[in-house]
Structure 1
Amino acid sequence: MSKMFKSINRAVKKLTEEAPQGNDQMIIKVKRLDSRFNRRGHQVVVDSGTVPTIEADNYDANGAYVLVHCKYFNQLGLLHRQTLDIKSLMVKKVLKEVIGDSYPGISFNTANIVLEYPLRCLWHYRDEIRFVAKEDKKSEKGRHLKLLLDFLDAEFAKLDADYNNYMEQGLTSFDIMWTLFKPGELIYTSFDGHARVFETKGYKEQSISCTIYGVIDGTYIDYNGDEFGYAQRYVLNPEFDGTRKITDLDAFPLKFHPREKEVRHDLISRGRKFESLAGIHCMDYNGPTISGAGHWGSKLFVNGRVMVDVKTHVHYHPEKVVAVSSLQGDKDKVKELTDSQNKPRYTTAGYHNGVYYEEVASQGANNVTMNVTLPTDGSGQDLKNKGKQNQKSKAVTVLTEEHLLLCSSLIYGFALNEKQWVQLFVDLLQPVRWNTVSFDQLVLPKSQKQLVKALVESHQTSTSNFDDFIAGKGKGLICCLHGSPGCGKTMTAESVAEFTKSPLYTISAGDLGADPAEMEKALSKILRLCTIWNAVLLLDEADVFLEERSLHDLGRNALVSIFLRMLEYYSGILFLTTNRVKTFDEAFQSRIHVALRYRDLDKSAREQVWRNFIEKIESSGTTTAIKEADYDFLGSVLLNGRQIKNAARTALSLADNMGEKLSLESVKSVLGIVEAFERDFKEMKKPEDIHS
C-alpha cells in the first residue's frame, strides 16, 4: 500500500509544480456560503449565517479561497442541498491523480470541480489524500490538503464514529453500508449456491418494486463467443433495520470472508476451467441449468451430454449475446478493429475428412466477394499458419489470476437430450467418459459390425479429395438400420458415437414437425449443428420421411422431397432407423451408403445380451446371485434387447427392495409379469386384426 501511495505522491508533485503562481496567494480557509431566497423571491448567495437583502448578489464565485462550501435552502428555509467547490489548483491535481475517473458519476479531470453532498467519493479516498499531504506537510500544497482533510474529518465525524464502532464488531447498518463498497473493492456473493466475485464500480440506493436496495454496480469476466472481456452485473442488498453482520449480507467485500484464501483458490481454479471452455466442447452435466437470460430464467434439470458452444449460441440467439468490453487498452481495440478489416470473416463451419473447415468470405480481384473453404483447427485458425496465429491468440486470450477470480459461473451450452440452449454452471461440467467398449458389446453378426466400424472410421479419418461433380454433394455417410424393435438399431448409433468420441444428436419426427416449411427450417438447423459439432445424427423411426411418394398426398410428398434434397448435401454421419423398409421411396436407395437388417435375436444372442447387462450391474459394485447355468434359461425366453434391459432393471429393483441379491428367481418373477402382458396384448389385438 505504501508503494502505491509513494507512486501517487511522485505523480502529484510533478503535476503541482506546474500550478500557476496565484496558488500561493490563495486564502487557506473554507468559504462558507448560503443560497437563500430574499424577500422578492430571488435566490441569492450570501455569507453563511447572514440574511439575504434585496440588493443584487455581489459574491465573487471565483474568489481566492481554497474551498467553498455552499448550503442551498428552499423557499421554506429548509436545507435541501450542499456543494463543495474545489478552488485550489493543487488540490484539484491531487484529486485528479488519486481519484481521476474511477468514481462513477464524478470526474476530477475537469477544470471546475463542484461536488454534491454526500461526499462519499472523498470519504473513500481520504487515506490516499492524507498520505500525499503527509509527504509534503510544509509546502503550500500540503497546507491546502490539510485544510481539505480537516474539513472532511469534521464533516464525517459522526460517520467515522459509527463506522469504527461497527467495524470492531463486524457489523454494518443500511445507512452506512455504502462505506463497504469502494470502487475497485472485490465483492463476494452467491448465485444459486455458486460463489461469485465482482469488482465494484459504483454503489447507490434505489427503489425496486417498492423495496429499497443497495445496488452494487459490479463487473466480471465473461465470454461472448469471440473474446473474453468485462461485463456488467448489478448485485443487490435489500434494506434492513438496525445492524447486521457484514458476512450475512447478500453481497459483501471478499476481505471479510472467513475463508477468503480458500474462496480465492476455488474461484481461480473455476476461472481456469471457464477459460478452457472457449470454443466447442462436449461435456457431461448433471444438475440444474438456467433456460432464460441472466440468473432469473426458469430452471431446467439436465443429466447427460451437453455441447458448450457460446459462438453458435450467439449465432442463433443474438439477442442474448453478452456485451463485453475488451481486456486490452483502447489502442489495442483500435488495432484489433483495423486488423479485422484485413482478415477474412468466417461464415460457416464444419468437419470434413476429420479436419475442421470454415467457409471464408474474402475480397478477391475487383472487390468481388468469394467464398473459400480453408482447413482450420475448429476455432478459425488456418492450419497452414497455425503456429504463428496460436502465439498471437494465446497472448490475447490468456487471463491473469485477477481475471480468473472474476470469471462467470455460467456458460451457454446445448443440452442434447432436451434439445435446448441453456446456461450451464461451470462447476457442474465434467469431461465425458466415453464408453469405447460399447461397440464391442453390441450383439450383431461380426461381418455387420466390421462393416459399420470400417465405414465410420474411414469417414472420420479420410483425407481423400474425392467429391461429386457438384461441389458439396454426397460427402456424408448415410446408414439405414431396419428390423424388428429391440434388436440393437438405436444402440448401434449410440455405440458408434461412443467409440468415435462424438456427440450423439437424436431426433424423431416429432422434433421436425409435419409442416414442410417448419420441417425444412428445423432440419436445416439440426444438420448445421451436427456439422459444426462433428456429431453423429440419429433419426429414430424415420418412416414418415422415407415413405414412398404418391399422387394423392402432396403434403407428405413435400416432406419426402425436402428430406431427400437436404440429405444429399449433408456431410456428417446419419443413422436412420425404421421398422417399415418396404414402404421406402425408391429415391432413398441411391442415397443410402449401407443398409443393415437387424433380425430377431436368437438364443445365443439373447444369452449374450443378458450377460452384458448382468456384467454391467456387477461392474457398478452390486453383487448378484446369477449363475452360469442360469443363462441357458434366460436365453430361452423370447425377448428382444430392450425387453431384456427392462427386465434386468426391474428385477434388480425388486431384489433391492426385498433386501436380496439379484437372482434367477427375481428375474423369473418379472418375466412372469412380462409374459402375462404379452399374452393380454396379443389377445386384445386379435379382434382388431379380424375387424380390419
Structure 2
Amino acid sequence: MGRQHSSSSSDSEAENNVNKMSSVKLTPDSATPKDTKDEQLVKLNPNEVGMSCGFKNLYSGKEDKHGRFQWQTTIPEDLGKPAEDAESEKWAIVVRNVKTYNDPKKVLSLHSILIQSPLLKDLLKDVLEGYPGVTVGLKRLEFSGRFEPLIHRWAELTAAIERLKQKAACDDADSTDADRVKHAELLQDLLAKEFKETIEASTDLKEKGVMTYEHLWTLFQPSAQVYSRQMSQDRIFKLHSSKYGEDVYGNPVFWLTCQYVEYDGTRWGTNKLNVSIPAFEGTKPITSLPTMPLEHHSSKDEMKAKLIERGGKVEKLAGSNYCAYNGVGWRLNGNGGKDKFAVKGRIVVDTYGWNKFNPNWCIYVTALHVKQDGTAPGVGGGTMEFSGDDEYDDSYGGSDGGMPVDGFFVDEDDEASKKVVLSDEQKMICTPLVRGYALKEKLWLNFFVNAVHDIEFSDRAFESLVLPRNQKELILGFTATQQSYMSSFDDVVAGKGRGIILLLCGPPGVGKTLTAESVAEEMKVPLYMMSAGDLGLDPRHVESKLQGVLDMCTRWNALLLLDEADIFLEQRSLHELERNKLVSIFLRVLEYYEGIMFLTTNRVETFDPAFQSRIHISIQYEELDVKSRKTVWDNFLKQHNIAQASARERTPKMLVSAAKAASEGRATPGEEEEEEAKKLHYNRTHPHQMDEKDIIQLSELSLNGRQIKNILKTAQLLAGKRGEGLKMEHVDTVMDVTQHLHKTTQASEQAKNSFFY
C-alpha cells in the first residue's frame, strides 16, 4: 500500500538552520584540523565543562570496509546540495524516479510522488475520503509503492475530474476552475502513463467477472466489505489490509487481514483475522474465490440480512446465559488444530468465564469507539473504528478461522466497559461464535450461535418427584430463598459460610439425584453434576479443580450436585493419609463456597464428624413403598404417552430407502411401502395400553425408581420392534429376562446395609 509521509521542513531548511547556528556569535568552535597535538591534550578546567553556550557540530567521516565511520569536525567535502529546495517547492507534484533493471521497455520507473498543489489536495480530499491510512490535509502528501489509494479510487478520481471539467466549461465558472482542471489532468496523465496496463487490465477483468492472481490487489480495497466462508459459516468482514506473501508451507498466497466484531466478556470490540487466497494460474471467476468483495455476491442483500439477524442473536447472548445447544463445539489444541465435540444438551454461554478459566485462550478485543452523533449517551449504535497499531502478523497462516491477531483484555469491573448497542453494520460483521461451558461434557468450548436455542423447561419435573409434600416445599423454598439472599449473611470471617449444603441420603433409586435435577429445573438454573471421578484422587490437583467448579457455580447461580460423595465425606483414619488429604481439602474449600450444594450418599453413618456441622439440611430417603412405586409407574407412563403423541406428529420413516428402491429398479419407494410405513408408524406411536389393574400389580414388585425406568424403556423398545403400543405383556417379557439382575441387586443391598448399619 502506498505510504504517506509528512514533515514541517525540507532538508535544505535543516541545513540552513545548521549554518545559521554556526554563524551565531557564541563560544567559538576552535577544534580544526590544524590543531596541534599539544593543544588537543590540554586539560580543561572542570569548572568550565559544559558551560559554553553553543553547539559543537560533528560529521560522519568516510566509512571503512566494514561500514564503520569516525566522527569528524569538518563538513564532508563530497556533500552535495539537497534535492528538494525552494525551487522544487513551487511545483504541483514532485515526481521521484528510480532506475529500472527488470523492464526492457523503460530505464526509469516511478518511485513516489509528493503532492504539493493545494488544488489537488482539495480534489483528493473527496476522492480519498475514508481510505485508511491517508490524511489528505498534510503539508507533505506522499504516495509510493503500488499507489494503492489512487488506483483503488481510480474510478472516483476520473469521475471527479470530469465534474471539474464540466464546471469549468460553465459560464459562471470560477477563475481557479481552469487551474484545478490542469492540475487534476496532470496527476491523471502521470498515473495513466505509469499504470496504464494495470488500470486497463483490472477494469477489463472486473467487467468480465474474473480476476488474475497478479491483479488481486486491485480487487480488494481497504474498508470494503468482503464475503468468505470460515468453519462452514457465512462471514462478512471489513477489509483492513492486504498483501502478497507465503503460507506456513512456503506456498505463495494473497493475504487479507479482515476485521470483525466480537465480545470479550466485558465489552464489544474488533479483532483481526488473516485469511488467504492461494496462488492460481490464468483467470478465475471472482465468485469462486474463497474470499471476495461482497458486491460480487449473487445474494448480497439476503446475506446481509441473514448475518445482521445472526449478529443480533450474538449480541443478546452477551454475559452469562443458560441455553440449550445441539451441534458441534470445538476448542483449539496444543498443535494449533481443533478438537471437535458433538454437543446436545444444556450449556452456559459465558465469555468472561471462558477468559477466566482458560487464560491461555483469552478473547482479546480492541474497543469500539462510539460516536453519538447527537443521540443520548448510551443510545443507538456507534461507528466502528479501529485503534492501535496496524502491524501485519504473519504468524497466523490459517484460512479456516482462528484466534484473533490483536487486542487486549480488561477486567469485568472496569469502569470503561459500557454496554454498546451494536449497529446493523457491526452485527453484520459479528463473529458467529459464542464461548461457554458444556455442562454434560464438562468442557469449555466454542459454540456456533445458530445452534444455540432457548431451553424448554419441564413444568412437571418437580411435580413428579415422589417425596412427602412438606419435604418438597422445604427443599424448594430453602434453595430458592438462599439463591436470592446468598450474600446477605456472612461469617465472622468475610466470605466464609455463605453457602448452603443439603445432604440427601438413602438407598439407590429413591430419587436423591432426581431431587436436585427437579429443583434446578423448577428454578430454571444450571445444575452442575460432579462425582469423585471428575476431580481425580491426586490431592495436588483436586483442590484447584474443585475450587474452579465452585467458582463457576457461584458465578452462574447454579446448583452443584456431588453425587455419591462418600470418598470425600468418609471419616478420616490413621492409615489412609492420602484420602485424609482429600477430606481436609474438601472441608476447607466447602467452608468458603457461596452457592447451593446437594450431596448424595447411602452411607451417612461413615461421615467424618467435621461435616456434620457444615450440613444445613439432611433428608433421609426411605425405600419406596407400594404407594410411592405406583406413583413412579404412573409418572413414567404419562411421560411415555406425551412422547408417543409428539412422535406421531413426525413424518413416518420409509421402510424401503431410496437407495434400496433404486437397486431394485424403482425410482422411488412405491405407494404400498408408503402405506405400510404410515400404518407401522401409527401403531408404534399408540399410547400405552396398560390399565389400572396392571399398574397396581407392578407396584407390588420391590423395585426402585431407576429399575422401573429401565424396565419401561426396554419394554417400549420391544413394543416398537413388534410395531405395537406398549402393553403389559412387553413389561412381563422384560421382567422375566431381567429378574435375576433385580434379585442380585436386592441381595447386594441387603448385605451392604447389614454391614454398615
Please indicate the TM-score interval, normalised by the length of the shorter structure. Answer: 0.7 to 0.9
Gaps of 5+ in 1: 1-54, 337-377, 382-388
State which of 219, 229, 232 in structure 1 corresponds to 2:269. 229
How big is the shift at 1:643? 2.0
Alpha-carbon distance between aligned partners in 2 of 1:614 and 1:175, rounded to the nearest angstrom = 70
Summarize deviations over 1:531-553 as a string: whole Å, max 9, x none.
11111000011001100111222
State which of 244, 269, 279 in structure 2 corresponds to 1:205. 244
Alpha-carbon distance between aligned partners in 2 of 1:466 and 1:202, rounded to the nearest angstrom = 56
State which of 465, 479, 489 in structure 1 corresponds to 2:512. 489
Partner of 2:612: 589
Partner of 2:187: 148
Alpha-carbon distance between aligned partners in 2 of 1:673 and 1:202, rounded to the nearest angstrom = 70
Alpha-carbon distance between aligned partners in 1 of 2:325 and 2:191, rounded to the nearest angstrom = 55
- Does structure 2 retain, via aligned residues, the 8 Å contact 1:516–1:555? yes
Alpha-carbon distance between aligned partners in 2 of 1:145 and 1:224, rounded to the nearest angstrom = 47
| 2:610 equivalent to 1:570 | no
The percentage of counterpart residues that share the same residue type is: 36
Change (3 A) 1:236 1:654: farther
TM-score (norm. length: structure 2):
0.70
- Does structure 2 retain, via aligned residues, the 8 Å contact 1:288–1:302? yes
State which of 172, 178, 189 in structure 1 corresponds to 2:211. 172
- Does structure 2 retain, via aligned residues, the 8 Å contact 1:86–1:92? no
Change (3 A) 1:145 1:296: farther
- Does structure 2 retain, via aligned residues, the 8 Å contact 1:101–1:108? no
Change (3 A) 1:609 1:681: closer
Change (3 A) 1:640 1:240: farther
**1:93-242 → structure 2 map (5 Å cutoff):** 94-95=123-124, 98-99=127-128, 102-103=131-132, 112=140, 115-137=143-165, 138-208=177-247, 209-242=249-282
How big is the shift at 1:509? 0.8
How big is the shift at 1:671? 2.5
Summarize deviations over 1:231-263 as a string: whole Å, max 9, x none.
111122222233333222211122222222221
Q: Computing the radius of gyration over CA atoms, which structure comes out larger, 1 or 2? A: 2
Change (3 A) 1:577 1:186: same
Partner of 2:502: 479
Partner of 1:70: 97
How big is the shift at 1:497? 0.7
State which of 604, 629, 637 in structure 2 corresponds to 1:606. 629
How big is the shift at 1:686? 12
- Does structure 1 retain, via aligned residues, the 8 Å contact 2:506–2:620? yes
Change (3 A) 1:675 1:155: farther
- Does structure 2 retain, via aligned residues, the 8 Å contact 1:184–1:199? yes
State which of 318, 326, 330 in structure 2 corresponds to 1:278. 318
How big is the shift at 1:321? 2.7
SS of the counterpart of 1:307? strand
- Does structure 2 retain, via aligned residues, the 8 Å contact 1:216–1:234? yes
| 2:741 equivalent to 1:672 | no
Gaps of 5+ in 2: 1-77, 166-176, 378-410, 647-684
Partner of 2:358: 317
How big is the shift at 1:408? 0.8
- The letter of the residue matching 2:329 is T
Summarize deviations over 1:202-238 as a string: whole Å, max 9, x none.
1112211132222111111111122111111112222
Moved over 6 A (4+): 55-59, 75-81, 329-332, 680-689
- Does structure 2 retain, via aligned residues, the 8 Å contact 1:279–1:379? no
Change (3 A) 1:101 1:112: farther
- The letter of the residue matching 1:648 is L
| 2:566 equivalent to 1:543 | yes
SS of the counterpart of 1:397? coil
Summarize deviations over 1:14-66 as a string: whole Å, max 9, x none.
xxxxxxxxxxxxxxxxxxxxxxxxxxxxxxxxxxxxxxxxx999995664473
- The letter of the residue matching 2:340 is K
Change (3 A) 1:278 1:76: closer
SS of the counterpart of 2:338? coil
State which of 303, 308, 311 in structure 1 corresponds to 2:349. 308
TM-score (norm. length: structure 1):
0.76
Change (3 A) 1:65 1:401: closer
Q: Please identify, of 299-308 and 637-646, the stretch whose mean Cα deviation from structure 2 is larger.
A: 637-646
- Does structure 2 retain, via aligned residues, the 8 Å contact 1:231–1:322? no
- The letter of the residue matching 1:99 is L
Summarize deviations over 1:129-178 as a string: whole Å, max 9, x none.
23433343343232122122233334444444444444344322322232
Change (3 A) 1:85 1:160: closer
SS of the counterpart of 2:463? coil
Q: Please identify, of 585-594 and 428-437, the stretch whose mean Cα deviation from structure 2 is larger.
A: 428-437
Alpha-carbon distance between aligned partners in 2 of 1:626 and 1:116, rounded to the nearest angstrom = 85
Change (3 A) 1:683 1:309: closer
- Does structure 2 retain, via aligned residues, the 8 Å contact 1:216–1:235? yes
Partner of 1:327: 368
Partner of 1:89: 117
State which of 608, 615, 634 in structure 1 corresponds to 2:638. 615
- Does structure 2 retain, via aligned residues, the 8 Å contact 1:88–1:144? no
State which of 425, 438, 441 in structure 1 corresponds to 2:461. 438
Equivalent residues, number: 580
- The letter of the residue matching 2:184 is L
Partner of 2:452: 429
Q: Please identify, of 643-652 and 177-186, the stretch whose mean Cα deviation from structure 2 is larger.
A: 643-652
Partner of 2:13: none
| 2:283 equivalent to 1:243 | yes
How big is the shift at 1:273? 1.5
- The letter of the residue matching 2:234 is A
Alpha-carbon distance between aligned partners in 2 of 1:480 and 1:688, rounded to the nearest angstrom = 20
Partner of 2:711: 647
SS of the counterpart of 1:298? strand
How big is the shift at 1:286? 1.1
State which of 405, 421, 427 in structure 2 corresponds to 1:398. 421
SS of the counterpart of 1:432? coil
Q: Please identify, of 211-220 and 151-160, the stretch whose mean Cα deviation from structure 2 is larger.
A: 151-160
Q: Please identify, of 317-326 and 543-552, the stretch whose mean Cα deviation from structure 2 is larger.
A: 317-326
Partner of 1:33: none
| 2:302 equivalent to 1:262 | yes
Indicate the structure with greater strand content.
Answer: 1
Alpha-carbon distance between aligned partners in 2 of 1:250 and 1:325, rounded to the nearest angstrom = 26
